[in-house]
Structure 1
Amino acid sequence: MLPLFGDENRRKINLGGSSSVSTLSAITDQAKARRIERTEQKRKNDSAIRIQAWWRAVSAIRAAKADMRRTFESDIEGLTGLRCIVLIGMDQEVLGKWSQTIIAKGEGSLFSPALGPHRQSWLVLIRQIYLLLLRSIAASPKSPNAVAHLKIMNMLVSTDVVTRNIGAQGRDVATDILVYVLKRGFYPLLSEAIRSITAHDRGEIVDIAASFTNDAYAESLAALVSKILTIPLLPNRLPLPSLTQLSSHLPLASFALLAFSLDNITITDKIHLVANLMAFTPPRYAVLPAAALTSYLNLLTCLFDSLPPEAFEESSKRSASAAAAASADADSDDESRPVVSVVSSFTAASPPAALPTLDARTLKRLATLVTPTHLTSLLTVTQKHPDATRRALFCMFLALEGIWPGKTSTILGAIVVGGGGTSVIKELWRGSVRRANATSILREFQRERFVPRTSLTRRSPPLLFLADLYAHALLTMGDDEFFGTSAQVGGSPSTPRNPMSLDELTVFSRLLLDVAFGLYQGPVDSDGDTNMTGTTGPKGVRYTWEELKEAVHAPQITGWCPLRSTSDLSWKRHCKTYRSFMTLALTAIPIVRFEEQQISSGNARAVTTRQIARLAPRLGILHNIPFSIPFSTRVQVFRSFIYSDAMARRQLDDTYGHRLNIIVRRENIAQDGFDRLRDADLKGRIGITFIDKFGEEECRELTGGGVFKEFFTSLCKEVFDTDRGLWLANKKNELYPNPHTYAVESHNLNWYRFIGRIIGKAMYEGILVDIAFAGFFLAKWLGKQSFLDDLASLDPELYNGLIFLKHYAGNPEDLSLNFAVAVEDFGVTKTIDLIPNGSNVAVTKENRLQYIYLVSHYRLSKQIKQQSEAFFEGLSEIIDHKWLKMFNQQELQILIGGTDSPVDLEDLQGNTQYGGIFDANHATIISFWRVVHSFDQEQRRALLRFVTSCSRPPLLGFKELVPNFAIRDAGSDELRLPTSSTCLPRYQSEKVLRAKLLQAITSNAGFDLS
C-alpha cells in the first residue's frame, strides 16, 4: 500500500547495532543538509504568502482608487472630490483634471465648498492639495497641467481672491494655508520649480512667492531669501512683469530679521543673493522708507562680512591674494591699485574656502556695487534719512571694502569725488566719532560674538571708515589745502579745504593713538584673530587683530599729524597713552632689545610687521605707532640694537681676527672706496691707509678714528656730488636719485647699492653726514608711499598744475589731458602710459583724482624705483629694516645728519677729550672755551662743521659723537692755525686764539682729522 504522503521526511533508524566513524560523519552531514533545505523551503513559502498579500493589497488599492476616481468624477468640485484627491495622492491625471475643471468654471467653483458648514474640512483638504500641486509641478515642470496648477495656487494664497469669495475671513484662510505649506518644505519645492519650468510660467510661480512676503507672513521671509533670492541669475529667469512684482513686494523693512539667519546659506548662495538684490533694489532707493533702507544696508553688511575677501573677483584675479598677504608690509608699486587704504590690504587669516566660478552676467551685476553711480545714489538718498540709516550706509561701505579690496580705490574715490567727501568726513567725525572714547571702542573690538547692533554701529565701523576715507583724501591733498593757508588754490575762490580742522585732527589723532595702543595691549586668541564686526561668518575672515591695528594708525602714518606738523606736538601732552608710555619708555629698552633678539635669532625667514606685533608687543608698538614714544627714546633703542649687533660682531672679529685693511689714493677716494668696499663686510673693523699724490703711504687708523672719518667724509662728498649724474637736488638742496635712464644702467645701480652701504655704515657707527635727502626718497627707506604734497618739493610747476586740476570748476576734458606723461631723456621725448592704453583715456571729473595720484606716483616712485631699490638693498645689509621702521622721514634725516637744535656748548665741553699737555684746567683750554662761548650760533655751527664735517649736533648729545671731540697740543707756534683733529697751538693771547680759530673755521677747509 502506498503511503498517503511521501516518506522522504521520515526519520531513518539504523538497527544494525554498530557503525564506523566515517558512517557517523556522513549521517551528520546529511542531517545538516536536510535542515538547510527545510529552512529554505519555509522562506519560500513565507515569501509567497507576502507576495500574495501585497498583490491582494495592490489590487484592493487599485480597485479603491478606481472607485475613488469614479466618485471623484461624479463630484469634481465638491468636498467629496477633494477627499478623493487627497486619498489618491500624486496622480498627475487626477490633479490635472481637477485643475482644468476649476480653471474652466472659475474661481467660484474652487471656494464654493468653503461657503457651507464644512469650511474647516475644506481648509484641511485644500492645504494638502496645494502641496500636491506644487510637488506635481516640481516633478513634471513641462506638464501641460502646470499652468493650471499655478493659477489655482495663486488663487489660494491671494488675500484679495480668497476674501472676495469667502468673505472677511479670507485673510485668515490664506494665512493658514501659508503656515501649513511653509512647515512642509514649500520654498525648497518652489525654488526647484522656478529652476525647472519654462520662463513664461515662472511668472506665475514668482507671483506666488511675492504674495507671501507681506507682514502677515513673516515666517516665510528667511525661506524666501535663502531659497528663492539665491537662485542664480533670478532676474534673468523672470518675465518683466513678474520681476517688477517681486521687486515691489520684497519686505525690505523686515530684512533686519535676517542678520542672524545667514549661517545655513552657502558662500555661493550668498554671492547670488547679493547679485539678485542689486537687480531688485537700486531702482527703488528713492522711494524706500528709512526703516526698509536701513535693514537692506544692514543685510548687505552682514553678507559682506560673512564672505571671504575677493569673493566678488573674477577667478583669474583671485590667485594674487596669497602673495598680497605675504607681502602686506611692502609698498606696492602697482599702479592698478592707485590708492593704499586701511582695508585694501585686509586678507583672511587662513586660506578661504574654495570660491565658486561666477557667471559673467553675475560678475557684471556685482560690479554695479562699486560703480560711482550706485555709491553716489546711496549717499544722496540717505541724506534725507535719520542718522541710523547713514551709519548703516557707512558700515556697508566699510564691509564692501573688506570683501572687495581690489575696488577700495574706486569706492573711496567715488565718495571723495562724487559723493561729497568733505561733508561725509565732517559728518562721520562730528556725528559718530567725536564723542567716542577709546575704552568703549576697544570693548567692542574685543567681543567674541556679535550682539545686536547698538553701540557697535555708533562707534567702531564709523571710526574705521573715517580713518580709511580721510587717509584716501590725504593722498591728493596739498599742504595749502591741509593747513588751510591759502584763500585761493588752483584759481578757484571756493576751493574745498581740509574737512577737519587742525584742532579736530589733534583730538582724532589722540583717539586713534589710544585705540591703537590698546589694541597692541589687547588679548588675542591662539590664531591672533578676532571677529571684530561680529558677523556670523567664519571666525577671523573679516579682520584680524593686526589688521585692526593697521586700520587705526594708518591715517597718522599716511601723511598727517604728527608727520605734517612735527613742530606742534601739543596733542601728545593730552594723550593718556603717551603719558602712560612715557613712564615706561626708558625701562622698556632692555625688554625691547630682548624681543628684537628673540625675533632675529635662529630665524632665517623674514618676519613681517604683523608677526612682530604678535610675538613682541613692545617692538610692535615701536614699528607701528612709533610716534607714541619720544624720539629720543627711540634713538636710544636704535643705538641699543646696533650695540648688541656690534658686540656680537666684535666678538667674532676678536675670535677669528677679522679685520679689513684697505689702501686708498687721496686723489681717487670714491673709485678706490667702491672697488675695495662694495662687497666688504662693513660691520666689521676697517683700517684705512691713505696714499698721497707722491705715492707715499700715510698713517693708518681703524674705524672710529679721525683717518676713517676723513675718508668717509671725502667719500660722501664725492659720491653725492650731483655732477656725477647719480643724484639730483631740489630747490631745498635735498638729494634724490636721478630718474633718467642713465641711472638705471647696471654699473650705476651697483653704485647706488654701494652708497646705500656707506650710509648704512655711517648710521651703524653713529657718524653724522652733512647730506639732506628729499622726504619722498626717505619714505622709500620705510616702505611708505609718497603723496601729492611731496611733489611740491620735486616739481613745483607740476604740483601747482595738479592742484589746479583737482579744484578746476569747469569740465576737465576741456584741458585735453589723458592718462599719460611725457618724459624727456637726453633730448628725446617719449610718452609713458600711466594705465593700459592711457594715451586714449581722457581725464574727466570722475577720474581726475586717480590721474593726480598716478602722475604723482610715477614721478615720485616709479621713475626712481630701481635706483631706490638698489640703494635700499645696500642700506639694509648694514641696518636692519625693522630698526628703521621706528622713525618717520624727518627723524631719519636727523639720524643721518643730526638735529637742527642749537649747539649746546656745555654738553660739548663736558664730552671733550684732551691730549698732550692739555687738560680742562690748562690756560689755553680755558681761553678756548671762553672764545667759543662768545660765538653766535652760526659761528658755533661753523666750528662744529670744521671739526666733524657736519654742522648739526648729534640728537642724543655730544657723547654720541663719533669720533669724540678732542683737543690736542699742537706746540707753541702761534702762527699756525688749528689743525689735525683739533690740534690747538698754545696761543698766549685770547685775541689771537679767537682770530686764528675764526680764520680756520671760516676758510672752508676741514681739519686733517688724522
Structure 2
Amino acid sequence: MLPLFGDENRRKINLGGSSSVSTLSAITGQAKARRVERTEQKRRNDSAIQIQAWWRGVSAIRHAKKDMRRAFERDVNSLTGLRCAVLIGMDEVVLGKWSQTIVAKGEGSLFAHAVGPDQSSWLVLVRQICVLLMRSVAASPQSPNAMAHLKIMTMLLSADVVSRNLGPQGRDIAADILRYVLKRRFYALLSEALRSIPVTAAKTSPELPLLVPLLTVAFSTFAQTTDTYADSLMALAANILTIPLLPNRLPIPSLTHLSSRLPLASFSLLALPTDSLSISGKIHLIANLMAFTPPRYAVLPAAALTAYCTLLVSLLDALPANALEGNSPQSSSTIAGAAADIDSDDEDSRPTVSIVSSFTNPNPPPQLPTLDARTLKRLATLVTPAHLASLLMVTQKHPDATRSAVFRLILALEGIWPGKRSAMLGAIVVGGGGTSVIKELWRGSVRRANAASILREFMRPSDEANPSIPPLLFLADLYTHALLTMGDDEFFGTSAHSQSASAPRNPMTLDELVVFSRLLLDVAFGLYQGPLDADGDTNMSGVTGPKGVRYTWEEVREKVTKCLVAIHARDSRRSFTPKDHWLVSTQIDLLSFVEAALFEERQISDARAVTTRQIARLAPRLGILHNIPFSIPFSTRVQVFRSFILSDSMARQRNSTEDVYHGGRYQITVRRESIAQDGFDRLRDADLKGRIGITFIDKFGEEEAGIDGGGVFKEFFTSLCKEVFDTDRGLWLANKKNELYPNPHSYATEPHSLNWYRFIGRIIGKAMYEGILVDIAFAGFFLAKWLSKQSFLDDLASLDPELYNGLIFLKHYAGNPEDLSLNFTVAVEDFGVTKTVDLIPNGSNIAVTKDNRLQYIYLVSHYRLNKQIKLQSEAFFEGLSEIIDGKWLKMFNQQELQILIGGTDSPVDLDDLQGHTQYGGTFDPNHATIISFWRVVHSFDQEQRKALLRFVTSCSRPPLLGFKELMPNFAIRDAGSDELRLPTSSTCVNLLKLPRYQSEKVLRAKLLQAITANAGFDLS
C-alpha cells in the first residue's frame, strides 16, 4: 500500500543518538582530511618554488661562470682574470691555467697589480687564491698543476720574494697573506698533501722540495713573541709532526732543510693539548720528535729542553703501557730481556698465595695501531743507553727545572716501557752517571720533600701537580736498582775497593739514608692507611694517581715500599739507624691496630686466594703487616701471629669432622731407631694442625710405658728435627756460619727428595704452629724465599765467599773486563763432574764487557741463590704452607723468621725465667737448694746460661715473648739427696732434675759439668 502523503522524505529521528554521533564524526573526519590536503598542497607548492628558485640560481651561476670563464680566457694575467679565477673557485682547469700562466710570465706578472689603485683589491684576491691553491694541492699533490700552485704559494708567502717585488712593504704584505691562510687550515692542508704522497715516492717527488719549505715559513715571518708564531708552532706539531714516518717521506735535501729550520728552540711556547690527539697521533709525534730533537739537545735553551721533556711526558703518560712496542713480540735475546725472564721464575714461586688478577677492568684496552718497523726502531731509541746518557749529560749545565723535567721523562719511560725498566735503570746506574743522578735527585729535590704534602695530595687531589712526587719515585726506582748489585761493603763504605777514588760508592751517605728512609716510611704508611670507602676499606682503585705521573697511587705505594724494604734489609744486617727509627707506634694505637688486624684476617680468611696488593686494598692493617711490617714492633707482630694461629685452631676444631681423631689426638707409633723414616711414613699426609699422640717402640719391639701429655711428642719432634736436618743425609748443606740451605745438587731434585723437603716444611710449620722452638738456623737467603723475596749479590757471601769475592773484583775491575775471558755461563759441579750452564740463551758466546758486567754479576748470583734450589724450595714451601698461611709470614723479615723458629738470640733474662719456673717434689722457691741454684745461675755468663737453657729445653734461645710462653713451663724437681749424681733433664717437658746439694760450690761444679758436657742428659 502506498503512503498516503509521501512520507519517504520525512526526517527520521533516532531517539538513541547513535546516528547523530556517527554523522558528526564523519563530518569532522572530512574536514580534517581537507585540512591535511591543503597543507600538503601548500608544502608541494613551496617546495616547487624553492626548487625553481634553486634552479634559477644554478642556471644564473652557470651563466655567470661561463661569462667569467670567457672574461678569464680573454685576459688571464689581468686583475679581472684573477678575480674571475677566485669567483669560479675550485675549478682545477681554471686554477691550473692561471698558475701556469703566472709561473710562465714570472714574478713580475704576479705582483703587477700589487701597487697603485688596485693594491687593496689585489691583496684580497691573492689571499683567497692562495687558499684555493693550497686546497687543490692537498686534494691532489701529484697532479700536473701542483708544481705551479706550489711555486705561486712560495712567491706569495715568502717575505724575501714579496719584498724583492714590492719593496719595504713587501714583508708586511707577505705576513698578511700568511696570516690569512693560517686561519684557514693551512697546516691541516699541508698535512693532507704530505700524507697523500707515498713514502716510496719520497726520493723522486718533485713537489716535496717546494712543499717542505712552506712548513716553516711562518717561523721566519713572524716574531717569536707573537701569538701567530705560537699558534703556528702548535699547528705544526699537531698536523705535521704527527705524520707517520715523516723523515722517511722526505728527500735528503728537504729533510735537512726541515731539520735545520724546525723551531725546537721555541718549544717553550708550545702548549699542545695532547688530549686532542689520537693514540696514533701521539705515537708518531713522539717518533718524529726523536728523529729531529736529540742531535740538538746540547744547544737547546733550558726552557726549550724543559718544554720538550714536558711534552714527551704528557704524551707518554697518555698512552697505554706497551703502546710503543707495537704488535711485535718482545725480544728475549738481550741480556736485559733474559734477566727479566729469569726474574719471573722466582718472583712468587711459593704456592701459599695464589696469583690472581688484582683489579679486573671491565673496559677493554684501547686498540693500539699497527706500527711500521721503522717507527718502532725510532721509538726504541728512547730507552737506549746512548739516548739516556745524552739526556742526563745536558742536565749538568741546566737549572733545576730542566733536570726535574728530564727525570720525569725517564720516569715516564719506565711506565710506558715496563719491559725495559730494568735495562734503563741499569744503563743509568752503570753508564749514565747513576751516582751523580741519585745525588742530584736527593739533594736537589727529594731532600726538600714533605711526606705530609704528598699525603695531602693523596687524600685531597688538586689540579696542581706536587713537584716532589716524580723525583721521589725516580729516586726510589733508581736506588732500589742500584742496591741489587751493591754489596754491604760498598753500601757501608768499609771495603778496600770503596776507598779508591775510581771505585763505585754508595751515592747516599748513611745520614742521608736515615732521612730518606723515614720519608719513605711516612709516605708508605700513609698510603696503606687510606683513603677509606663507605665500608671502611682502603679504596685505592678509585684514585687514579698523583698529577704529573702516569702511575696510580697503588703503583706509587709499591715503588716507595720496594725501596723502603731494600734499605731496611741493609739496616737489618747492620744497623745504622737510630732506635725506633722504623716504628710508627706514636701514630697509631697498637691495641686497636691488633684488634683491627685480627678482624680483617677473619674477614678475608674465607675469601678466594688473594694477592698482596688486594690484601692492602681490602685490609689496610694487614697490608701494613705484609708490606712494611717493621713499622710495627716485633713483639706486637708476634702476638698477632699467635692470635692468627689460635683463631685458625679454634675454627678448625669447630669444623673438624674427621674420623681419624680419637680423643682429639692423631695416634702413631714410632721406632726409636727409625724416628725420621717412621715420622715421614706416618705423618706425611696427616693433619699436623691437630694434636699428635706418640707411642715409642723400643729396640725390643715393645711399646714404651707412659701417656703422652705433650712431652713425648716434643721428644719425638726434637729427635726428628735433629735427624732430618743432619747434613749427612744429603738434603741440606751448611755454610760457614753453620746455617742450613737446600742442597743444590741434582739428586736433591728427584721426586723422593722433593717429598722429603715437603715433609720437612710441614714439620717446621708444625713447630711454628705449636710454638715449639727448634734449634736450627737457616741461611738468610733461604729465609728470604719464605717471604717470596729474591736474594741478591750480597747474600752470596754467606753461600760461596770465593765466588762473591770474584764478582766483587769484577765489579770494581778498572781494566777491560773482556781481558778476563768471561762469558754468560756458570760452572756447576755435580757428583764430581763439572758442566757449564748458560745464564742466557747462547750465553757461552756472549762476552762479559764493561757495559754488561752488572747484568752478569746479577745473573750469576741469581742462578746460585735462586735457580739452583728452586724445586727444593718450592717443595719445602708447599709443605710449610699447609700448616702456616703464607700471609702470616709476610709480617716478618728473614732475621725475625729465624727468631720465630728458634727463639731470640737475646741474653737470657734470669729474672723472667725465675718468675715463671715451677717446682716439684720437696722443692719450693724458698728451699735452700733452690736459693743456691739461682744464686749460682745468676753468676753464670750468657754462654753458660744458654747452655743451661739448652740442657733443659733442648733450645739455647729464650722464647720470643718471654718465659711465660715456654710450654710447658721451665720446671725444677727434686732428684734425691745423692750429691754424687749430676743434674739431669727431661727436655720433652722442660724439666731439670736437681739433687739436693748441700754445698753451693758442689752445686755449681756439678751443674756446669752437666750443662757443658750433656752428662746425665735424659729424654725420658
The two structures have a TM-score, normalised by structure 2, of 0.88
- What does 1:256-655 align with in structure 2 at a 5 Å threshold? 256=268, 258=270, 261-315=273-327, 317=329, 332-333=344-345, 352-446=365-459, 448=461, 450-451=463-464, 456-457=466-467, 459-488=468-497, 494-523=502-531, 528-535=541-548, 542-558=550-566, 560-561=567-568, 563-566=570-573, 568=575, 570-571=577-578, 573=580, 578=584, 580-581=586-587, 584-600=589-605, 602-603=606-607, 605-652=608-655
Per-residue deviation, 1:595: 1.6
Change (3 A) 1:29 1:650: closer
Structure 2 residue matching 1:268: 3-state secondary structure: helix
Matched, 1:250 2:258: no
Size of the alignment, in residue pairs? 961
- What does 1:747-826 align with in structure 2 at a 5 Å threshold? 747-826=752-831
Aligned partner of 1:952 in structure 2 is 957
Aligned partner of 1:740 in structure 2 is 745
Structure 1 residue matching 2:486: 3-state secondary structure: coil
Aligned partner of 1:209 in structure 2 is 215
Assess if the C-alpha contact under 8 Å between 2:306 and 2:405 holds in 1: yes
Cα offsets for 1:868-903 (capped at 9, x unmatched): 111111111111111111111111111111122111
Which ranges in structure 2 are unaligned for 5 or more consecutive residues?
1-7, 11-18, 333-339, 348-356, 534-538
Change (3 A) 1:668 1:108: farther
Aligned partner of 2:337 in structure 1 is none
Report the residue type matching 1:799 in the other structure. Y
CA distance, structure 2, for counterparts of residue 99 and residue 862 of structure 1: 75
Cα offsets for 1:797-840 (capped at 9, x unmatched): 11111111112111111111111112121122222111111111
Aligned partner of 2:665 in structure 1 is 659
CA distance, structure 1, for counterparts of residue 651 and residue 45 of structure 2: 95
Matched, 1:885 2:898: no
CA distance, structure 2, for counterparts of residue 728 and residue 1006 of structure 1: 31
Assess if the C-alpha contact under 8 Å between 2:775 and 2:956 holds in 1: yes
Cα offsets for 1:748-782 (capped at 9, x unmatched): 11111111111111111111111111111111111
Cα offsets for 1:134-171 (capped at 9, x unmatched): 22122223311112212222333333333333344444
Per-residue deviation, 1:39: 11
Per-residue deviation, 1:646: 2.2
Structure 2 residue matching 1:660: 3-state secondary structure: strand
Structure 2 residue matching 1:935: 3-state secondary structure: coil
Assess if the C-alpha contact under 8 Å between 2:649 and 2:689 holds in 1: yes
Cα offsets for 1:449-505 (capped at 9, x unmatched): 543x6xx33x2211111111111111111111111112336x966322111111111
Per-residue deviation, 1:206: 2.8
- What does 1:141-290 align with in structure 2 at a 5 Å threshold? 141-197=141-197, 199=202, 200=205, 201-213=207-219, 215=224, 216=226, 217-256=229-268, 258=270, 261-290=273-302
Change (3 A) 1:921 1:843: same
Report the residue type matching 1:593 in the other structure. L
Assess if the C-alpha contact under 8 Å between 1:103 and 1:152 holds in 2: yes
Structure 1 residue matching 2:956: 3-state secondary structure: coil
2:920 to 895, 912, 915: 915
Assess if the C-alpha contact under 8 Å between 2:572 and 2:895 holds in 1: no
Structure 1 residue matching 2:323: 3-state secondary structure: coil
Change (3 A) 1:892 1:334: closer
Cα offsets for 1:921-958 (capped at 9, x unmatched): 23332222222222221111111111121111122111
- What does 1:958-977 align with in structure 2 at a 5 Å threshold? 958-977=963-982
Cα offsets for 1:4-60 (capped at 9, x unmatched): xxxxxxxxxxxx999xx9xx9xxx999999999999999999888776665554443
Report the residue type matching 1:633 in the other structure. T
| Structure 1 stretch displaced more, 566-575 or 914-923 | 566-575
- The percent identity for this pair of structures is 76
Per-residue deviation, 1:972: 3.7
Report the residue type matching 2:718 in the other structure. T
Structure 2 residue matching 1:333: 3-state secondary structure: helix
Assess if the C-alpha contact under 8 Å between 2:531 and 2:540 holds in 1: no
Aligned partner of 1:847 in structure 2 is 852
CA distance, structure 1, for counterparts of residue 938 and residue 703 of structure 2: 39
CA distance, structure 1, for counterparts of residue 150 and residue 1010 of structure 2: 106
CA distance, structure 2, for counterparts of residue 334 and residue 666 of structure 1: 39
Report the residue type matching 1:687 in the other structure. G
Cα offsets for 1:567-602 (capped at 9, x unmatched): 536435567x73523x622442112111221122x3
Assess if the C-alpha contact under 8 Å between 1:259 and 1:298 holds in 2: no
Assess if the C-alpha contact under 8 Å between 2:811 and 2:854 holds in 1: yes
Aligned partner of 1:338 in structure 2 is none
C-alpha RMSD of matched pairs (Å): 3.4
Change (3 A) 1:396 1:773: same
Which ranges in structure 1 are unaligned for 5 or more consecutive residues?
1-15, 321-327, 336-344, 536-540
Report the residue type matching 1:644 in the other structure. S
Aligned partner of 1:669 in structure 2 is 675
Aligned partner of 2:354 in structure 1 is none
Change (3 A) 1:762 1:485: same
Assess if the C-alpha contact under 8 Å between 1:444 and 1:532 holds in 2: no
Change (3 A) 1:410 1:628: same
Change (3 A) 1:411 1:213: farther
Change (3 A) 1:803 1:59: same
Change (3 A) 1:707 1:81: same
Structure 2 residue matching 1:698: 3-state secondary structure: coil
CA distance, structure 2, for counterparts of residue 39 and residue 304 of structure 1: 61
Aligned partner of 1:692 in structure 2 is 698
Structure 1 residue matching 2:445: 3-state secondary structure: helix
Cα offsets for 1:951-998 (capped at 9, x unmatched): 111221111223321223334444443232323333333333333322
Per-residue deviation, 1:80: 2.3
Aligned partner of 1:83 in structure 2 is 83
CA distance, structure 1, for counterparts of residue 517 and residue 1016 of structure 2: 45
Assess if the C-alpha contact under 8 Å between 1:726 and 1:743 holds in 2: yes
| Structure 1 stretch displaced more, 191-200 or 290-299 | 191-200
The two structures have a TM-score, normalised by structure 1, of 0.89
Structure 2 residue matching 1:263: 3-state secondary structure: helix
Assess if the C-alpha contact under 8 Å between 1:946 and 1:1005 holds in 2: no
1:979 to 978, 985, 989: 985
Cα offsets for 1:529-548 (capped at 9, x unmatched): 4343425xxxxx92222221
- What does 1:859-870 align with in structure 2 at a 5 Å threshold? 859-870=864-875
Matched, 1:989 2:999: yes
Assess if the C-alpha contact under 8 Å between 1:211 and 1:249 holds in 2: no
CA distance, structure 2, for counterparts of residue 533 and residue 357 of structure 1: 31
Assess if the C-alpha contact under 8 Å between 1:664 and 1:672 holds in 2: yes
| Structure 1 stretch displaced more, 429-438 or 900-909 | 429-438
CA distance, structure 1, for counterparts of residue 618 and residue 331 of structure 2: 28
CA distance, structure 2, for counterparts of residue 334 and residue 167 of structure 1: 77
CA distance, structure 1, for counterparts of residue 346 and residue 431 of structure 2: 25
CA distance, structure 2, for counterparts of residue 497 and residue 715 of structure 1: 47
